[in-house]
Amino acid sequence: MTEKVIYEGPIFTLVKEDVTIKNKVYQRDIIHHPGGVGILCMIDHKILLVKQVRQAIDLETIEIPAGKLEYGEDPLECGMRELNEETGYACSSMRLIQSFYTTPGFCDEKLWIYEAIDPIEAKEHLPQDEDEDLHSFWLPLEEAYSKVLNQEITDAKTIIAILYAVAARRE
Amino acid sequence: MTEKVIYEGPIFTLVKEDVTIKNKVYQRDIIHHPGGVGILCMIDHKILLVKQVRQAIDLETIEIPAGKLEYGEDPLECGMRELNEETGYACSSMRLIQSFYTTPGFCDEKLWIYEAIDPIEAKEHLPQDEDEDLHSFWLPLEEAYSKVLNQEITDAKTIIAILYAVAARRE
């Protein structure tokens, strides 16, 4: 497999690769991304969410707390840190409920979704990244599910976390 | 907003944008993508899926039938075509069940998930794209749900379609 780096940035790297399909060689543009972590954090049937403006889509989104991995970083540790940075909440442990690829047609970004076990307000609140402007809030799970169905929540990882929580409660 | 094109490829365009957050200017690398369509196609509680090798993640995946939009193309028409090309099935109409952003932190790719209404084998089977090598098969929905929970199905749009179908059946 031949791989040629086209662009290396702070978040992802763009490469061009040769691939062989049915004995013919094609080129594919591929984004290498270190992956990330999202956190399903619930207390009393309410889910913790964050609002932020996403530059790529020029919209304010509602998402679960989440963050990018550093290469080689443990997803669980990343999840603990991001939960505190983005919301001021902490937990003693987390349980992996899902890992998946956001868009495997051209990108290797993998996301891990953890459920925070017994979340509480953190004694020490880590500062937000200075290039982020987030606002966290709690929403009853059924309202969050309604926002998935009526397209107010349009972020893939957040939809997966909410549908997972709803399906789990109905089992 | 300043936007500078870094790379233009057949699938997506990479740009660098200035963004202002809390009165400071930062740069963001952003992928512009035309978006795509996925199809939830079910007959008798079985779901139609496709296997293929995804070069970006170097793995064989199980996904719902799906394809990339051309800029300006109607998602519903794209869905009808891709369903036929990838599986040989057709339907008279489709119902939008979800649209979402795959990874809004750095990419504007939006996916539309349609449910095929009364799918049947197509009289005329459109050829697959020559740079694709796909194999379609049917799986009981509950087995597909198990494959989500045990991480055999790891594609975001496919997880969303399956969780949606499971949640809808339990309502």
CB contact under 8 Å between A68 and B105, yes or no, is yes
Query: Could you give the CA distance from residue A140 to residue A138 in angstroms, rounded to a whole number?
Result: 7
Residue-wise pLDDT tens digits, B107-131: 999 999 999 999 999 999 888 888 8
In this complex, the residue of B7, B36, B104 whose CB is nearest that of residue A57 is B104
Q: Classify the C-alpha dihedral B118-B121-B123-B128 as positive or negative.
A: positive
Mean pLDDT of A53-59: 95
Catalytic residue among B8, B121, B124, B130: B130
Which of B25, B14, B63, B72 is CA-nearest to residue A8?
A: B14
Query: Could you give the CA distance from residue A4 to residue B19 in angstroms, rounded to a whole number?
Result: 29
Which of B130, B165, B135 is CA-nearest to residue B63?
A: B135
**B25 touches A at CB < 8 Å:** no
Strands A135-140 and A66-68, sheet pairing: unpaired
pTM: 0.95
Residue-wise pLDDT tens digits, B63-115: 999 999 988 899 999 999 999 999 999 999 999 999 999 999 999 999 999 99
In this complex, the residue of A7, A56, A163 whose CB is nearest that of residue B105 is A56
Give the distance from residue B88's alpha carbon to the nearest chain A alpha carbon, in angstroms: 20
Q: Considering only CB atoms, which chain B residues are within 8 Å of A65?
A: none
Interface predicted TM-score of the whole assembly (ipTM), two decimals: 0.95
CB contact under 8 Å between A167 and B164, yes or no, is no
Beta partners for residue A111, in sequence order: A36, A100
Domain boundaries of chain A, sorted by first residue: 1-32, 34-170
Q: Would you state the pLDDT for residue B171? A: 62
**A99 touches B at CB < 8 Å:** yes
Mean pLDDT of A38-47: 97
**A104 touches B at CB < 8 Å:** yes
pLDDT band at A170 (very low <50, low <70, confident <90, very high): low
What b/e string do you get for B74-87 counting C-beta neighbours within 10 Å, with b at 16 or more? ebeebbbebbbbbb
Quickly list DSSP for chain A. --EEEEEE-SS-EEEEEEEEETTEEEEEEEEE---EEEEE-EETTEEEEEEEEETTTTEEEEE-SEEEPPTT--HHHHHHHHHHHHHSEE-SEEEEEEEEES-TTTB--EEEEEEEES-EE-SS-PPPPTT---EEEEEEHHHHHHHHHTTS--BHHHHHHHHHHHHHHT-
Q: Would you state the pLDDT for residue B153? A: 98
Active site residue B130: yes
Q: Is the pLDDT of residue B150 over 90?
A: yes
CA B80 → CA A40, A96, B67, B87, B92, distances in Å? 35, 36, 10, 11, 9
Three-class DSSP category at B104 = coil
Q: Would you state the pLDDT for residue B133? A: 87
| Cα angle, residue B135 at apex, residues B66 and A101 outer, rounded to 5° | 50
Residue-wise pLDDT tens digits, A70-86: 888 999 999 999 999 99
* SS3 sequence of A77-115: HHHHHHHHHHHCEECCEEEEEEEEECCCCCECCEEEEEE
**What is the end-to-end Cα distance of chain B in Å, rounded?**
45
Q: Is the pLDDT of residue B10 over 90?
A: yes
Give the distance from residue B48's alpha carbon to the nearest chain A alpha carbon, in angstroms: 19
Residue-wise pLDDT tens digits, B134-148: 999 999 999 999 999
Which of A57, A32, A132 is CA-nearest to residue B32?
A: A57
Q: Is the pLDDT of residue A127 over 80?
A: yes
Residue A8: is it exposed, middle or buried by C-beta count within 10 angstroms (0-12/13-18/19+)? exposed
Mean pLDDT of B143-159: 97
**A109 touches B at CB < 8 Å:** yes
**B154 touches A at CB < 8 Å:** yes
Q: Would you state the pLDDT for residue B134? A: 92
Contacts of B142 (CB under 8 A, 6+ apart): B45
Contact B45, B37 (CB under 8 A): no
Superfamily of domain A34-170: Nucleoside Triphosphate Pyrophosphohydrolase (3.90.79.10)
Q: Considering only CB atoms, which chain A residues are within 8 Å of B131?
A: 21, 24, 26
